[in-house]
Amino acid sequence: MSDYNAFLNNYAFITIIVLLGVMLLVVILWIVSKCLRFLIKKDDTQPDATTVQYDWHTLSVAQALHKQSTQLSSGLSQAEVKARQNDYGFNQLDETPPEPAWHLLLSQFKSILILVLIIAAIVAAAIGDLSDGIVILIVVIINAFLGFYQEFQAEKSLAALKKMLALQAKVRRDGRVQELSATQLVPGDIVILEAGDKIPADGRIVAANTLEVDESSFTGESVPVTKQKKELRNPATPLAERSNMLYMNNAIVRGRAEMLVTATGMDTEIGKLADLLAQTEDEATPLQLQLDSLGKRLALFALVVVVVLFASAILRGEPLIETAFTAIALAVAAIPEGLPAVVTVTLALGMHRMASQRAIVKRLSAVETLGCTTVICTDKTGTLTVNQMTARAVFYKEQRYSVSGEGYEITGEILPTVSATDLNALLLPLALCNDSHVRDNQVLGDPMEGALLVLAAKGGLSKEQANKQLPRIAEIPFDAEHKFMATFHRQDYEIKIFIKGAPEVLLNLCVRLKYC
């Protein structure tokens, strides 16, 4: 029997040494990871040169080109591009390097509750209760690998998305237009933009034709903004009102433009916002705070149990060794080893449900943060909508029609139902006097024109079908001064004109009114 007890004691001792070694290794790796992240962040810097800042919106096109030492017709030379890339670096926002897999795994052991469980497993093994120690360790390991797997997969998905969404730009260099990665842009480049393009850098407009830009991600306004190339007089004009400037990550919804790049990378306005966001520190979520608080309370409770039992044993004169084993066993039994696993599984299910709604969550704790959100305070309605317009009602030939469906999905209908020929005179202008396109339930162009195209499609008329029937031969683009757009179409030997615009302007152009 004594040999058996000695064996158990030796086994428990060995177990304790191994577990303590693992804990020491975890601590060492954690410290090393912090040092590596600091060194990577320190070395991962762009060149010190920053873009020279002028009040670009107050300069004429000629002055802006002169300041950047470039020409509109030819752009920069390759030699000048290489020199400026050495000065300003690549046109990309600073990003924290992705966490290595082993660091993600170690981060699963940060919780105080997890540390308490590990200590409980060590103590349980030390007093000979190997089954409890092994069970607790298995639960901790399963919890860690489940959280690691979810977060590692999210990191991989985000990396794949970034590769898929790599932005391309049309640039004029050495007198030739070429398409290249937006990261290769430098101040002084001439970028050519069309409807549907994403703006790859900040720049001064040097040529524009009926240009409208979606700046909702920048200003919160859901309505496209009209842009032009004339200089502005007031140097203090707010960013959102600088009608001759374009900003990175916004999108062209109508027209065409040529832009002189004035800022790239972290010198752009969106780069300044990214820098402010990078300075904010991650805070623990409410659930993490509650779990850490629970871990501290459990540790305190276990300590109190041990102290009380020792004190009572001393008062009663009981053997201290036996009392110590009993106290430790009760303290270990008070630890809810299954709680972390239950929390992790619950958050993983939430993460999976978010993924089914096409939302990638990098951290499990973010799911709980989103679930705790009760009020969103905002001063812009555009930030809370899907930035889509839908035609819901039509009044035509003294008849009111209602339109079903949402957004740019062509799944609704016009009620009461009538034949396509009855609505042909209404639907043709909607499809033909229109410069936008709808593809895969997304609009390329102006949101209002997209809503009109969807309305025509619900009535049975597509834009492609209408263009084949009446090909466009000329147009008068929409302009803020005359407030209308007109297109000219050939039909046999006749020319048909379709026009849309502000009601007060069109009514003044009419000689007589019909169906009013």
The strand pairing partners of 214, in sequence order, are 251
Q: For 140-183, what is each residue's pLDDT tens digit?
A: 787 777 777 777 777 776 666 566 556 889 999 998 999 898 99
Helix (H, G, I), strand (E, B) or coil at 502: coil
For residue 230, what pLDDT is reported? 92
Catalytic residues, by residue number, are: 379
**Vertex 381, ends 408 and 367: CA angle to 5°?**
85
Helix (H, G, I), strand (E, B) or coil at 255: strand
Q: For 266-305, what is each residue's pLDDT tens digit?
A: 889 888 887 877 776 666 677 777 777 777 777 777 777 7
Q: Which residues in 375-398 are b (16+ Cβ under 10 Å) and which e? A: eeeeeeebeeeeebbbbeebeeee
- Which tokens sit at 499? 């026009």
For residue 366, what pLDDT is reported? 74
Give 69-74's long-range contacts (Cβ < 8 A, gap of 24+).
Answer: 69/188, 70/188, 70/189, 70/190, 70/260, 72/190, 72/206, 72/207, 72/258, 72/260, 73/172, 73/175, 74/172, 74/173, 74/174, 74/175
The strand pairing partners of 176, in sequence order, are 173
- Which tokens sit at 436? 């936008």
Note the residue count of the chain: 516
Report, as an integer, the average pLDDT of 247-272.
89
d(C-alpha 394, C-alpha 403), whole Å: 8
User: Is the pLDDT confidence value at 30 over 70?
Assistant: no
Strands 225-227 and 202-214: antiparallel
- The percentage of residues in the chain with a pLDDT greater than 90, rounded to a whole number, is 21
For residue 329, what pLDDT is reported? 65
Where is pLDDT greater, at 199 or 94?
199
* Residue 515: burial class (beta carbons within 10 Å; 0-12, 13-18, 19+): exposed
Report, as an integer, the average pLDDT of 82-91.
90
**Vertex 283, ends 281 and 289: CA angle to 5°?**
160
Q: What string of DSSP letters covers 43-100?
A: H----S--PPP--GGGS-HHHHHHHTT--TTT-B-HHHHHHHHHHH--S----PPPPP
For residue 206, what pLDDT is reported? 94
Report, as an integer, the average pLDDT of 102-115.
72
d(C-alpha 334, C-alpha 353), whole Å: 33
User: Is the pLDDT confidence value at 194 over 70?
Assistant: yes
Report, as an integer, the average pLDDT of 486-498.
91
The structure's pTM equals 0.59
For residue 47, what pLDDT is reported? 46
8 Å CB contact between 182 and 167: yes
Q: For 45-70, what is each residue's pLDDT tens digit?
A: 444 455 556 789 999 999 999 999 99
**Vertex 319, ends 315 and 321: CA angle to 5°?**
120
- The percentage of residues in the chain with a pLDDT greater than 70, rounded to a whole number, is 75
The rounded mean pLDDT for the chain is 78
Closest CA to 291 of 347, 332, 350: 347
Q: For 367-417, what is each residue's pLDDT tens digit?
A: 777 777 788 776 655 556 666 788 999 988 888 999 998 888 888 888 888
Residues 6+ apart with CB under 8 A from 390: 403, 405, 406, 407, 451, 454
| First CA to last CA distance, the chain | 107
Report, as an integer, the average pLDDT of 96-106.
72
User: Is the pLDDT confidence value at 318 over 50?
Assistant: yes
d(C-alpha 90, C-alpha 298), whole Å: 52
| Residue for token pair 């001759």 | 244
Q: Place 8 in a pLDDT band, splitting at 50, 70 and 90.
A: very low
Report, as an integer, the average pLDDT of 451-464.
90
